[in-house]
Structure formats: C-alpha cells, structure tokens
Structure 1
Amino acid sequence: MRFPIDTSPRFDDRFHSVTDGDRLDLLAHRYLGEAKLWWLICDYNDIFFPLELTPGMLLRIPSMDHVSMHILD
C-alpha cells in the first residue's frame, strides 16, 4: 500500500489526447522520462484499469518538476 498523492490541478500540468496505440508506460516515458511512472498518470486521471485507454480521452499529466520535488522524495 502506498500513501495517496496530491493530484489537485496545477498550473504546469500538461494534457495528452489519447490516440490508438497509446500506452501509459510509453506516455510516462515521453512526458516524465521514466516508463515505470505510469501509475502517476493513473492517479492523476482516476484510471483504475490502465489497459483501457480509449482514443479521444484527455489525460492530465503532472510536470516532471512537480513529480521530482513532491512525489518521489
């Protein structure tokens, strides 16, 4: 079990519109530099089934600065 993280909207959040073939691990690598941080995107978007991304879905992605300063400490 892990502690909950603060996922309230921030000024430096980015957004990604899901297309066919998108996977959370690939998006985490693209935006956060680490594929293993896919769970952050799930938490930020209340995704419970990470394999069920649908095209057109808009994902909110935290900035790497916020992640490294406040979440991965």
Structure 2
Amino acid sequence: MLLKNSRYKEARRFEADDSGQVRCKGTRPREIGPAIGVVEHVIQEGDRLDLLAHHYYSDARLWWRILDANPDLLSGVEISLAERAGEVILIPKAKE
C-alpha cells in the first residue's frame, strides 16, 4: 500500500504472467521526467543530498528529487558526493 502522496502512486504494479502468478509483488520503476526550472549547485566538500534538500527545500526528506535530476550520482549501490567536489549538479525547482 502506498501513501496518497507517494512519488510511486502513478507507477504501475507488476502484472501476472501467463499462469496467473505475479512473480514480483511490488511496483515497477516510476517514470522520471527531465528536471525543469533548475538551479546549478557546485558540490562542496561535506555536501550530502539530505543537507542540500534541507537547504533548497527546507525538507531533508526530499533528497530523492535532487537524485532524480542527477542520476549519474549513483555509483553502483552508493550515492556519493565525497569525490565530486567542484562538479555542478542540478537542483530542481521546489514544487509549488
């Protein structure tokens, strides 16, 4: 069950196969559109996505919005800003 304001509320569920079984009970990956209305941020030593979200959105829980706009920040299973000081990332506009 998803919360009514979940970012996955529009994502499709996995469907049953020919035998009628649902092999994966969950939600398919959600669509991520292009970031519109962005601010460029130069990564500083010590930056973290949650701290940037708190700074730009006043809500550290919105870190995923920054990651959505910068998918290249994913390195395997890690999200790392430590070695990216000086690089520019996009901060999407806060939703109105």
What is the TM-score when the length of structure 1 is the normalising length? Answer: 0.73
Percent sequence identity is 37
Alignment counterpart, residue 15 of structure 1, candidates 13, 27, 40: 40
Q: Which runs of 4+ in 1 moved over 2 A?
A: none
Pairwise CA distance, 1:14: 0.5
RMSD: 1.6
Distance 2:30 2:51 in 1: 24
Pairwise CA distance, 1:45: 0.5
Matches within 5 A, 1:61-72: 61-65=91-95, 68=96
Pairwise CA distance, 1:57: 1.5
More helix by share: 1
* Corresponding pairs, count: 63
In structure 2, the gaps of 5 or more residues are 1-26
SS at match of 1:55: coil
Q: Which has the higher contact order (CA 8 A, sep 6+)?
A: 1
**Which residue matches 2:60?**
35
